[in-house]
Structure 1
Amino acid sequence: MLTDQVAIITGAGRGVGKATALQMAANGACVIVSDKDPEPVDEVVQEIRNQGGSAYAFVGDVTAKEFAESIIDFTIQQCGQLDILVNNAGYTWDGMIHKMSDEQFQAMLDIHLIAPFRLIRAAAPYMREAGKKDIENGKTTYRKIVNVSSVAGVMGNVGQANYASAKAGLIGLTKTVAREWGPFNVNCNAVAFGLIDTRLTQAKEKGETVNGVSIGIPEKVRSMFEQSIPQKRGGTVEEAAAGIFYLSSPLSNYVNGHVLHINGGWYT
C-alpha cells in the first residue's frame, strides 16, 4: 500500500514507533528510523532489511535545534523524496502543578510540540511545495503527516499538566497544518492514545528512566486505569501503530485535521 513512498518516523527504536516502522516497511515504504539511542535504531533497521524491506538509521535528539533540518536533508539524500512524517518521539515527566518546575514544564513542550513544529516546517519544501508543484503539473499526490497526541491532550490528566498542555497544543498544530497545507494534498492528522502497553506505561516499580527521569505508572494506578477502560486492558503497540498506518495510507486521503482516538473507549 505504501510502495515507492518514503516515511520518517521519530521515536522508532521502540514501542509504537518501532511497530509503525515495521508495518510501513512491510507495506513497501522506505523508512527513516529515528531515535536518540543508536542500538535500538540499528536493530529495527536490520529487522526491516532482514524481512526484505528498505530502511535507514538516523540517530539524534528531536529537541536539538539542528535535528529537523538534518533528518530532512538525510532523507532527501538517501531517498530523494518525503511522503510521510510521523511525529512520535516523546516521554513523560509527571508532577502535580504546584510542585512542577519551569524546566519540567518546558521539557514536555520541547519534545511534544516544538520538535514536531520544527520538523513540519523543515519538511515544507518536500511536502507543501512538492504538492503545489504537482498540482501545477496536473498531478495529484497525497502526502501525510501524523502527530502522536494523547487522551491527556484532549481530556487533561492529573499529574500531567506539562504533558497534557503539549499534547493539546499538538492537536492545535495538527488542525492548523491541515488547513494551511490541505490545498496542496498534504493531510495532517493526529492520533490520541489512551493506555498503550509501552515502557512509558509499564509499572513504575521497574525503575526505568529516560533522560534521567523515572518513567512508568505505579502498578496500583495502572490497574485502576485498566478497569476504567471498557475493553478492560491496555492496547498493544501494534494496535496503536495500525491507527498511524491508516492515517499514513491512501485509505485516509479524504481525512484531514482529524484526531483519531485509540483508547479502547476510555476517555476520562
Structure 2
Amino acid sequence: MAQRLGQISGHLSNIHSRGLLAGEVAIITGAAQGIGRSAAITFAREGAKVVVSDLDEKKAQLVVDEIKAFGGDAIAVGGDVSADEFPKKILDATISKYGKLNHIVNNAGFTYDKMLHTLPDDAWDIIQKVHVRAPFRLIRAAAPHMRIKGNTENRSIINVSSTSGLHGNIGQANYAAAKSAVIGLTKTIAKEWGPFGVRANAIAFGLVHTRLTQAKEEGAIIEIEGKKVALGIPGIGAGANQPGPKAYPLIPLARGASPDEAANGVLFLASSLASFVSGHTLEVTGGAGI
C-alpha cells in the first residue's frame, strides 16, 4: 500500500514538474489584460506555448515578454477578432511558429451597455460580431488543425460566456444574447467535434475584477470601429472593492474573483483534468446565481 501511494505521489509530482499543458499550443484572444492576460501567463507556466492575441499588439507583446522572462514560450499576434482576415492571420502565425494547435480560448470581448428601449442597432450588432461571429469564424477556420482523425493529443475549445448569458442582466440585452448564443455554439461543437477527440466547453464568469467591472466613472474606454465605448459599471462605488456580504449580497463568497482565479477555471477546462468534460458550462461565480 505504501509503495502504491509512493507511486501515485511520484506520478503527481511528475505531472506538476512538466506542467498540465506541457508541449501544447494555445491561442488566447483578448489576452493583453484582465482574464486573458492571466490565462496566457497561467497556461505558459503550465508548459503551453501561447499565442497571445489582442487588439493592442503592443500590450500583447508585453505579456509575451512576461512569459519569456520566466522561461515560457509565446508570441504576440495583434488584430481585431471581428475582422474578416483575422482567423487566417492568427492561424498562419500559430502553425508557422509551432506547427500545431491544441486549444482556442475565445476570450476577447467588451460590454456596450444600454437599456433595451434605448439600445441602438450598432451597439447590438458589434456585440454579436465580436462575441459570437468572431469565435465561430476562428473555430471554423481552425478545423483542419484540430478536427483530425486519430489525433490523440489533448485538444479543446473554450468559449467565454457570462452569468448575463445564463440569467440575463439589466442594461445588457445585447451582451446577454451574445453570451447565451456562445453556449449553444459550444454545445454544437462538442457534438460535432467530439468524435475527433476535441472537447468544447464554455465558462461563465460572474464578477471578476477587471476594467469591465470597475466603476464606469474611472473612465476606461475602448475604441471600436472609430467609436469610443465607455467600460465599467455605473455607480458601482468604492465600497464594492471591499469584501463582505454587504458589498456583495448576491455572492455567497462575499467577494469578486481576481483575474487569476478566473484563469484557473480556464486552465481546468483546457487540461487533461477535464478529459471527459465536454459540452459543459463551468460557472465561476463565487456561488452567485444558485
Task: Pick the TM interval, shorter chain.
Answer: over 0.9
Quote the residue 2:236 is aligned against: 220
Aligned-partner Cα distance in 2 for 1:12–1:171: 21
Report the Cα offset of residue 225 of structure 1: 7.0
Aligned-partner Cα distance in 1 for 2:136–2:108: 13
Q: Deviations over 1:210-229 (max 9, x none)?
A: 12100101243784872221
Report the Cα offset of residue 92 of structure 1: 0.2
What is the aligned-residue identity percentage? Answer: 50
The amino acid across from 1:216 in the alignment is G
SS at match of 2:113: coil
SS at match of 1:220: coil
User: What is the correspondence of 1:1-268 to structure 2 with a 5 Å cutoff?
Assistant: 1-128=20-147, 130=148, 132-134=149-151, 140-211=152-223, 212-220=228-236, 223=240, 226-267=248-289
Q: Deviations over 1:93-131 (max 9, x none)?
A: 000111011100011101110000001001100111x2x
SS at match of 1:82: coil
TM-score of the aligned structures, taking structure 1 as reference length: 0.95
The higher radius of gyration belongs to: 2
Aligned-partner Cα distance in 1 for 2:268–2:71: 22
Aligned-partner Cα distance in 2 for 1:96–1:109: 16
* Structure 2 unaligned residues grouped into runs of 5+: 1-19, 241-245
Aligned-partner Cα distance in 1 for 2:21–2:200: 17
**Contact 1:144/1:187 (8 A) holds in 2:** yes
Are the structure 2 counterparts of residues 219 and 98 from structure 1 closer, same or farther at C-alpha, using a change threshold of 3 Å?
A: closer
* Structure 1 unaligned residues grouped into runs of 5+: 135-139
Report the Cα offset of residue 42 of structure 1: 1.1
The amino acid across from 2:231 in the alignment is I
SS at match of 2:51: strand
SS at match of 1:46: helix
**Contact 1:20/1:242 (8 A) holds in 2:** yes
**Contact 1:227/1:233 (8 A) holds in 2:** no
Q: Which has the higher contact order (CA 8 A, sep 6+)?
A: 1
The amino acid across from 1:167 in the alignment is K
The amino acid across from 1:178 in the alignment is A
The amino acid across from 1:197 in the alignment is H
TM-score of the aligned structures, taking structure 2 as reference length: 0.88
Quote the residue 1:137 is aligned against: none
**Contact 1:16/1:240 (8 A) holds in 2:** yes
- Of 44-53 and 225-234, deviating more is 225-234
